[in-house]
Amino acid sequence: MKPEPVTDGGEAEGDVLAVAEHRRGDLRDVSFEAITAGRQLADDLGGELHIAVIAGNVDGFAETLNREGVDTIHTVDAGEEFNHDLYAGAVESLFEEVEPAALLAPNSVNGLDYAPAVANALDLPYVADAVDFAYDGGFEATREMYGSKVETTVAVSEEPFAVTVRGGEWPGAEGAGDAAVEPFEYEFDGDAAGSRVVGFEEVAGGDVDIAEAEFLVSIGRGIEEEENLELIQELVEVTGATLSSSRPIVDNGWLPKNRQVGQSGKQVTPDVYLAIGISGAVQHVAGMKGAETIVAVNTDPNAPIFDIADYGVVGDLFDVVPALISEFK
Amino acid sequence: MKILVTVKEVGEAADDFEIEGLDVGERFLEYDLNEWDDYAIEAGVQLAEEFDDVEVVSATIGPERSEETIRMALAKGVDRAVRVWDDDVAAADLDVAAKTRLLAAVVEEEEPDLVLSGVQANDDNFGATGVSLADEVGFEWAAVVNHLEMAEDFSTASLHRELEGGIEELTEVDLPAVLTIQTGLNEPRYASLRGIRQAQSKEIAPKTLADLGLDASAVESPIERTAMYEPESESDATYFEGDADEQAARLADVLREKGVVGR
Ligand SMILES: Cc1cc2nc3c(=O)[nH]c(=O)nc-3n(C[C@H](O)[C@H](O)[C@H](O)COP(=O)(O)OP(=O)(O)OC[C@H]3O[C@@H](n4cnc5c(N)ncnc54)[C@H](O)[C@@H]3O)c2cc1C
């Protein structure tokens, strides 16, 4: 796992600049994961770990971000919330000051909204959504392709470079650190920016809270047609389960948004999560991997959902579900 | 007004596939329109229906085979298409920067007011091209857009960005801009028979690097795929053998054991 730190000979060539993330006053978990990933990379590179925290209560954030392994925290006191013009501009300026070998950011929704722009502006090779990486004379990242059915490694032959890391792949950094906190002056005129955040809205209240359910029967695109949902409804009735779904079912308007499990839906932690016709895309898994027992029904033996399942049924839901219904009738 | 929609043809690995070298074997790949781009196309076509004098042009980096997918976009209401390809592009492993350079050249030629792009492509999942392109051509941008309202005069767009955990950010973006479109923004239409017929006579303009004023250096990339493999399963899942009835019986046992049925 984590290699022994290489002592820094005073050169700053191998430094890493990682960007923290917060929303509505709270640092997000990906910030602490970015510290762990950034520390790993900085160790490999033989450099220091710099954290950038931009907008909002940056001094408060800096205190919380001061975890083991962080060398310097750069606070950019401008704006209240994420705005990509602010983030892109501040990260670019900081990058030019710190001159790191690598820029690291969370592959979050906001990461998607500024990191590619920064990489382009600074002319950095860009690797998105790394699930692992190593640096051994050169940077090599592990990524997934084709709906997580395969893994790939990609090598980057230029430095500096930019990488975004997938949430949940690195543990969050813990332990108190003794980082230097350095305010970084960056002028930002929010009103003049070409994009303006004007507010937030919470979606998906409603009749049921799937986050509370102990047994979720969750349906995905394998159901094919809206009419076929009746079959699942019947299973839900005879088992007393709560119905949830993957995103396409909600996108199609077949179920309301409050039934969606995943990154942009709900996080659920039932005793049993029965995933029917769901492939197990990363954004879906993000919402249900905390289930105590995961059972998957899928025709595709290579579906990534089986990688996290405790029980697997390789089979056609249109055969398995009716048989299951008769078991409980 | 002109809207440029980036349209990618993506490969999808069959249930049973084999890896050949650094990719899934060609015969195990089925090609289709990228799911997120389908919503981007629909958004463009809906704007063209809502406003006067809007032309919707699609841009694809892809081999001749991708014309089948492009026809699908044309059948859904895209007015004409640009397809970038030549031997140098075919030989390259395109990274985000290379795609950005190619699409930026198309943007410079077409001068759209708005570029719509899918949040990510289903095959390589970089989720970066749209925002990178915006920076390159000096447009504004917004990523992961799931609600969009355009000002009468196409000067600004009011939109929602879908954040994690059921929270949406309300943002206003000045045009010209690149928006990366999230699924669920709209309901992509099926191509009508009439649309399919009309698509046959719409233009798909092939463009080489030279046509775009670029040369082979535009597709050079410092990022190289070095391996592809099937991930080792981390779980030790218990699989239920037998026919559907037997599988269901075992599954029912598990549900009873866990005590979740009948609560
Ligand atoms: C920014 C972002 C946020 C996202 N947020 C979420 C989110 O919150 N939640 C979410 O779910 N997704 C989310 N997604 C989408 C996600 O990437 C996937 O597209 C989605 O989860 C796929 O849903 P699915 O598994 O139902 O469909 P698919 O991936 O199409 O899988 C369908 C599965 O059904 C199987 N199948 C087909 N027929 C049968 C049959 N007869 N019997 C049994 N099995 C069958 C297939 O083998 C396949 O594995 C997000 C994407 C992005 C980019």
Residues within 8 A of A (CB atoms), B 49-88 only = none
Are B160 and B241 contained in the same domain? no
User: Is A107's C-beta closer than 6 angstroms to any atom of ligand 1?
Assistant: no
B227 lies in a domain?
A: no
CA of B181 to the centre of ligand 1 (A): 17
Which one, of A224, A320, A328, A280, lies nearest residue B239 by Cα? A320
Which residue would you say has higher pLDDT here, B236 or A3?
B236
Query: Is residue A230 in contact with ligand 1, taking CB distance under 6 Å?
Result: no
**Cβ–Cβ gap A117/B140 under 8 Å:** no
Q: How many domains does chain B have?
A: 2
Give the mean model confidence (pLDDT) for residues B68-84.
98
Domains of chain A: 6-192 (3.40.50.620), 210-328 (3.40.50.1220)
**Are the Cβ atoms of A326 and B248 closer than 8 angstroms?**
yes
Check residue A13 and give its pLDDT.
67
Report the gap between the CA of A8 and the closest CA in chain B (Å).
27
Q: Are residues B134 and B262 in the same domain?
A: no
Looking at the structure, do residues B133 and B205 belong to the same domain, yes or no?
A: yes
Which CATH number does the domain housing residue B193 bear?
3.40.50.620
Does B149 reside within a domain?
A: yes
Separation CA B7–CA B82 (nearest Å): 10
Nearest to A111 by CA among A167, A57, A172: A167
Identify the weakest region by mean pLDDT among A81-90, B57-66, B173-182, B234-243: B234-243
**pLDDT grade, residue A8 (50/70/90)?**
very low
B32 CB near a chain A CB, below 8 Å? no
Residues B21 and B132 in one domain: yes
State the nearest Cα–Cα gap between A180 and chain B, in angstroms: 31
Q: Residue A215's pLDDT band (boundaries 50, 70, 90)?
A: very high
In-domain check, residue B228: no
Give the nearest ligand 1 atom to A263 CA.
Answer: 8
Same-domain check for residues B126 and B245: no
Higher pLDDT, A4 or A218: A218
Tens digit of pLDDT for each residue in A161-211? 999 999 999 999 999 999 999 999 999 988 888 999 999 999 867 778 999
Domain hosting residue B164, numbered range = 2-219
Share of chain A above pLDDT 90, in %: 91
* B147 shares a domain with B251: no
Q: Examine the domain organization and report whether B34 and B120 are in the same domain.
A: yes
Position A144 scores a pLDDT of 96
Bridge partners (DSSP) of residue A312 are A296, B239
pLDDT of residue B226: 97
**B138 and B177 assigned to the same domain:** yes
Percent of chain B with pLDDT over 70: 99
- So what's the pLDDT on residue A324? 97
Ligand 1 proximity of A210 Cβ (cutoff 6 Å): no
Interacting residues of B221 by C-beta distance below 8 A, sequence separation 6+: A125, B92, B93, B94, B95, B97, B98
ipTM, 2 dp: 0.96
Are residues B238 and A310, on separate chains, in Cβ contact within 8 Å?
Answer: yes
B241 part of contact set with chain A, CB < 8 Å: no
**Ligand 1: does its nearest atom lie under 6 Å from the Cβ of A316?**
yes
Report how far apart, in Å, the C-alpha atoms of A68 and of each of A30, A38, A103, B35 are: 16, 12, 19, 42
Judge if the upstream peptide bond of residue B176 is cis by omega within 30 degrees of 0: yes
> A108 with A30: CB under 8 angstroms?
yes
Asked whether residue B213 falls in the same domain as residue B250, the answer is no
pLDDT digits (tens, 9 = 90+) for A276-318: 999 999 999 999 999 999 999 999 999 999 999 999 999 999 9
C-beta of B119 in contact with ligand 1 (< 6 A) = yes
Q: Do B179 and B238 fall within a single domain?
A: no
The string of pLDDT tens digits covering residues B26-53 is 999 999 999 999 999 999 999 999 999 9
The pLDDT assigned to B263 comes to: 55
> What is the band of B231 on the pLDDT scale with cuts at 50, 70, 90?
confident
- pLDDT at A6 (0 to 100): 42
Same domain as B240, residue B212: no
| pLDDT for position B2 | 98
Judgement on whether residues B195 and B67 belong to the same structural domain of the protein? yes
